[in-house]
Amino acid sequence: MDMEKYVCQICGYVYDPEAGDPERGIPPGTSFEDLPEDWQCPICGATKMNFMSFAAVMGGFR
């Protein structure tokens, strides 16, 4: 399965599924879709709703 990176629209933090978020109990290999709904950006505290897929950002889709 292809796991996509997601970018925080507020601070620019990139969630990398291969790295996970071990400090918050998210093991490496966790896709963004599988993050708990209450997961927040480690940098600015934004919710999942504020994240956008890396491909969409880099593709310049508006």
Q: How far is the CB of 11 from Zn ion (least distance, A)?
A: 3
- 11 near Zn ion (CB under 5 A): yes
| Distance of alpha carbon 45 from alpha carbon 39, whole angstroms | 9
Q: How far is the CB of 31 from Zn ion (least distance, A)?
A: 18
- 55 near Zn ion (CB under 5 A): no
With respect to Zn ion, which residue has the nearer C-beta, 2 or 23? 23
| Distance of alpha carbon 8 from alpha carbon 52, whole angstroms | 7
Q: What are the start-end ranges of the E strands in the chain? A: 6-8, 14-15, 51-53
Q: How far is the CB of 47 from Zn ion (least distance, A)?
A: 10
